[in-house]
Structure 1
Amino acid sequence: MKIHMLSRNPSDYRRETADDIFKMPRNYNTTEHPFAAEREYIRAMNSAKLSRLLAKPFLGCLEGTTDNMSIMSLNTEKVGLAVFGTADGKIQYWEIATRKRLYEAPAHAGEVRGVCQYEKSQMMYTCGLDSQLKQWKMDHNDIASSWKEPLNTVLLNWTPLCLDHHPSADAILVGTSESCLIYHSTRMDVPVFEWTWGREAVHHASFNPVEHNLVGILTKDNSIILADTREEQPLRKVKMNLKLNSFSWNPMEPFIFTAASEDYNLYTFDCRFFKHPRRVFIGHTNAVMDVDYSPSGREFASAGYDDTIRIWSTDTTSSVDVYHTRRMKRVLKIKFTLDGRFLLSSSTDQNVRLWKAHASEKLGALKPREKASYASAEALRAKFQEHPEVRKILRNRHVPKGILAATNEHKIIRAKERRKQRNVRVFNHSQEPIPSEKEKHTTAVYK
């Protein structure tokens, strides 16, 4: 007599370790699981509601600030250490993780306009409204003795307005009211290079973090200039309708950078096609003062004169999130930390605030099942983000009454301009193409 035995593979139902969850057999036939899409939609709705319920981005203030922070410089080698320059001429050494000021020293007789660090040589450079460029020793183990007095002091012919350090060489870039200068640490009394394009002041200049020879320069005549350290003259120049206050290079795409403008917008440029912006980001209701990219290169943050901080994705032209508090006034500076998880903002109420880059992110160590749960929730939100109810939950933000009124007013103004263009074309029987949004804001291109 034959006896038929059931045979199963133990690896199909047995756990590898005692910490693993029990394996559950599943039948993936769709006829056995009706309404699967509907249940998934409900889970996406609940995930969206929980993400907004747990959105608490504000972590705290850095206590001990005595004046407006005019400049913020993060250490590129030691995560969590920063140097701030104040409007009363002092430099402060901070530990971001503990939110403590470790040391403070007077540096300039006036506002500090630039601070940059170079960890390879353990040097720091500052410049201020007293027309002085100073070199300091950066000894993190004994910062008090290294900041007693600067190593070198150079009296410039013009007032410096910005400062940046070369990513891989011991050279610094100084923007003045007449030109853009490059100094070397071995000989700081004479600049080794100088760029001039007209007689306009340079209020912001920065090296490309990937292509180290490429330099971006902003001038007071509403222009942005591309220059190369291997060339004697700047490469290209684009003039905008209004002044650009600041810009930031994309750390992952070296030919992309985003600039903050006085016309409430942000513009992303491509160095390979410099005729007009690649993308226009609309959302602020007042001038945009500063912008900074996340280390991932997929998002950036902007500081606005409308008392808000906005988080943007490089793929969409509208802001992903808006941060504001009742006491925070005009935001002047914004910085991503090197891990991309936190933001530092400086405002005119003499406070430096620490924020989470992702409002609903949980801080601290996560268990494996928590990580899996968060990943599943994120995937569900991404899958159903364009469904009306999910989109309404994810995109809705409560903002102050004044910002809401200004946003609605700007929508009416833009709709009026589009309606006027359409009527002019109809009554004049014009066949000229309507310029796109990214072509409206440039006035001239120079090569």
Structure 2
Amino acid sequence: MKVKVISRSTDEFTRERSQDLQKVFRNYDPNLRTQEKAVEYTRALNAAKLEKIFARPFVGALEGHIDAVSCMAKNPNHLKGIFSGSMDGDVRLWDLANRKTVCQSLWVPSLRLWNVPDYRNKSPNDSAAMVPAAVYVWKHAFWGVDHQWGGNLFATVGAQVDIWDHERSEPVNTYKWGNDTVISVRFNPGEPDMLATSSSDRSIILYDLRMSSPARKLIMKTRCNSLSWNPMEPMNFTAANEDTNCYSYDARKLDEAKCVHGDHVSAVMDIDYSPTGREFVTGSYDRTVRIFNYNGDHSKEIYHTKRMQRVFCVKYSCDGTYVISGSDDTNLRLWKAKASEQLGVLLPRERRKQEYLDAVKDRYKHLPEVKRIVRHRHLPKPIYKAAALRRTMIEAERRKDQRRRAHSAPGSMPLVPFRKRRIIREEE
């Protein structure tokens, strides 16, 4: 006689790495779970609220400078190190993990090359003066400098664009297009021979080191203070403009901006991309730091404090976890790139839960209540009023343009997209 029995192994209904937690078996048949969407919507709503409750972006301040911090630089080979320079000529190397100065030096009117000291095994209280490995002197003043990614060349800007080699005492190449001062320069991380500059004549110029002359020139209606290349898309870059907006361009098609990033209420002073290429951070004269998606019209995060003054420089950390800002109040501030992110080690179960909550919020982000909570930001009163005034001015200009077009002869006033309005012309 045959007898049929049910046989189960203990491993089938016991969770991994634990002998006391039982697996939960669920039947995902939609007929048995009629309230599935309602439950997920409630979870998305609660997750959006909890994200606001636990949003604590400010980590700490790096104190040491005695004048406004005007520039910063980072080395991709050193995750926790960052350089900063103040307007009194003080250059410092910071250890972000300990928030201490590793070494410092006084800047003089010349170009200097330093070897980065090994500070990983140094005590946080040990600081030494940096000794330059080489000094370069030239006949023009320097307004900006940037080093090639993975090469021995670096570029300086001022009255002209000079390309230098570590082993040479004079520039190996010189470019000039116009008579105005060049104020910023950035090498392309994906194409080592490509670089872009912004000038005081409101132009953005692209250079190719393999050519003897500049490649292309774009003239806008207002000046660009800084620009940054997307590390994951070498053909795209974003420029921080004086008209409170940032403009993303494709280097192959400069007659129209790919995206216009708004929300600032004063001139944007600096910009830097995340190592992932999905976000970038901006610092503005309106005393705020904002984080944008690479294709987003509006900012997704805004950071500010009561004591922070005009922000002159911003940088992403090399791992994309933190944002560093330098402002007019002599401080460097360290922020979390994700305001509500939990710092420290997460258990696999905690990480899976957070990924699920993020997916649920993304699924229901179009619904009014979730959208309102996710988009809400607390703003200082001056910035709130300035933003409201700016929206009123933009709306009045739009209505005026519509009325002019309605009362003009057909075809006499063609509709120009906003992405093209700020461009005067393109030269080659």
Give the TM bin, normalised by the shorter chain: over 0.9
In 1, distance between residues paired with 2:9 and 2:414?
69
- 2:14, 2:20 within 8 Å by CA — same for their partners in 1? no
1:393 aligns with 2:373: yes
* Alpha carbons of structure 1 residues 396 and 233: separation in structure 2 relative to 1, 3 Å: same
In 2, distance between residues paired with 1:66 and 1:251?
33
Q: Deviations over 1:171-206 (max 9, x none)?
A: 110101x21001111112x21100010111111011
Counterpart for residue 130 of structure 2: 147
In 2, distance between residues paired with 1:2 and 1:76?
70
* Alpha carbons of structure 1 residues 57 and 144: separation in structure 2 relative to 1, 3 Å: closer
In 2, distance between residues paired with 1:299 and 1:32?
41
Cα shift at 1:30: 1.5
Counterpart for residue 49 of structure 1: 49
Counterpart for residue 135 of structure 1: 113
Alignment of 1:216-365 (within 5 A): 216-365=196-345
In 2, distance between residues paired with 1:333 and 1:218?
16
Counterpart for residue 138 of structure 2: 156
Q: Deviations over 1:351-380 (max 9, x none)?
A: 110000000000000111111111111111
> Which of 140, 151, 161 is the aligned partner of 1:169?
151
In 2, distance between residues paired with 1:244 and 1:350?
24
Aligned to 1:390, what secondary structure does the other structure show? helix
Aligned to 1:312, what secondary structure does the other structure show? strand
- 1:138, 1:146 within 8 Å by CA — same for their partners in 2? no
* Alpha carbons of structure 1 residues 15 and 135: separation in structure 2 relative to 1, 3 Å: closer
Which residue identity does 1:161 align to in structure 2? Answer: W
Q: Deviations over 1:150-171 (max 9, x none)?
A: 3332322111000011112211
- 2:194, 2:208 within 8 Å by CA — same for their partners in 1? yes
Counterpart for residue 94 of structure 1: 94
Aligned to 1:335, what secondary structure does the other structure show? strand
- 1:204, 1:218 within 8 Å by CA — same for their partners in 2? yes
* Alpha carbons of structure 1 residues 250 and 403: separation in structure 2 relative to 1, 3 Å: same
> Which of 200, 206, 226 is the aligned partner of 2:186?
206
Higher mean alpha-carbon deviation, 27-36 vs 402-411, is at: 27-36
Cα shift at 1:324: 0.7
Counterpart for residue 119 of structure 1: none
Aligned to 1:38, what secondary structure does the other structure show? helix
Displaced runs of 4 or more, over 4 A: 7-11, 141-146
In 2, distance between residues paired with 1:14 and 1:382?
32
Q: Deviations over 1:336-362 (max 9, x none)?
A: 000101010001111110000000000
* Alpha carbons of structure 1 residues 20 and 320: separation in structure 2 relative to 1, 3 Å: farther
- 1:162, 1:174 within 8 Å by CA — same for their partners in 2? yes
**TM-score for the superposition, normalised by structure 1:** 0.91
* Alpha carbons of structure 1 residues 65 and 16: separation in structure 2 relative to 1, 3 Å: same
In 2, distance between residues paired with 1:138 and 1:383?
46
In 2, distance between residues paired with 1:86 and 1:286?
22
In 1, distance between residues paired with 2:150 and 2:348?
39
In 1, distance between residues paired with 2:397 and 2:410?
17
Aligned to 2:31, what secondary structure does the other structure show? helix
Identical amino acids, percent of aligned pairs: 35
> Which of 412, 415, 425 is the aligned partner of 1:434?
415
Cα shift at 1:7: 4.3
Q: Deviations over 1:250-307 (max 9, x none)?
A: 0100001110000000000101111121111111000000000000000001001011
In 2, distance between residues paired with 1:20 and 1:389?
40
- 2:95, 2:102 within 8 Å by CA — same for their partners in 1? yes
Which residue identity does 1:13 align to in structure 2? Answer: F
* Alpha carbons of structure 1 residues 372 and 19: separation in structure 2 relative to 1, 3 Å: farther
In 1, distance between residues paired with 2:250 and 2:286?
28
Q: How many residues align?
A: 422
Structure 1 gap segments, 5+ residues each: 109-129
1:106 aligns with 2:106: yes
**TM-score for the superposition, normalised by structure 2:** 0.95
Higher mean alpha-carbon deviation, 81-90 vs 209-218, is at: 81-90
Cα shift at 1:410: 1.1
1:446 aligns with 2:424: no
- 1:137, 1:146 within 8 Å by CA — same for their partners in 2? no
Higher mean alpha-carbon deviation, 68-77 vs 284-293, is at: 68-77
In 2, distance between residues paired with 1:244 and 1:168?
27
Cα shift at 1:217: 1.0
Which residue identity does 1:165 align to in structure 2? Answer: H
- 2:103, 2:130 within 8 Å by CA — same for their partners in 1? no
RMSD of aligned Cα (Å): 1.8
Q: Deviations over 1:222-260 (max 9, x none)?
A: 000011001011111000000000001101000011100
Which residue identity does 1:167 align to in structure 2? Answer: W
Q: Deviations over 1:82-137 (max 9, x none)?
A: 222221112112101110112222221xxxxxxxxxxxxxxxxxxxxx2x112233
Q: Deviations over 1:201-221 (max 9, x none)?
A: 111011101100111011110
Aligned to 1:85, what secondary structure does the other structure show? strand
Cα shift at 1:8: 4.5
Counterpart for residue 115 of structure 1: none
- 2:105, 2:129 within 8 Å by CA — same for their partners in 1? no
* Alpha carbons of structure 1 residues 186 and 145: separation in structure 2 relative to 1, 3 Å: farther
In 1, distance between residues paired with 2:118 and 2:20?
44
- 2:69, 2:327 within 8 Å by CA — same for their partners in 1? yes
* Alpha carbons of structure 1 residues 281 and 19: separation in structure 2 relative to 1, 3 Å: farther
Cα shift at 1:76: 1.6
Structure 2 gap segments, 5+ residues each: none
In 2, distance between residues paired with 1:74 and 1:372?
32
> Which of 369, 383, 399 is the aligned partner of 1:419?
399
In 2, distance between residues paired with 1:378 and 1:277?
31
Cα shift at 1:2: 5.5
* Alpha carbons of structure 1 residues 339 and 19: separation in structure 2 relative to 1, 3 Å: farther
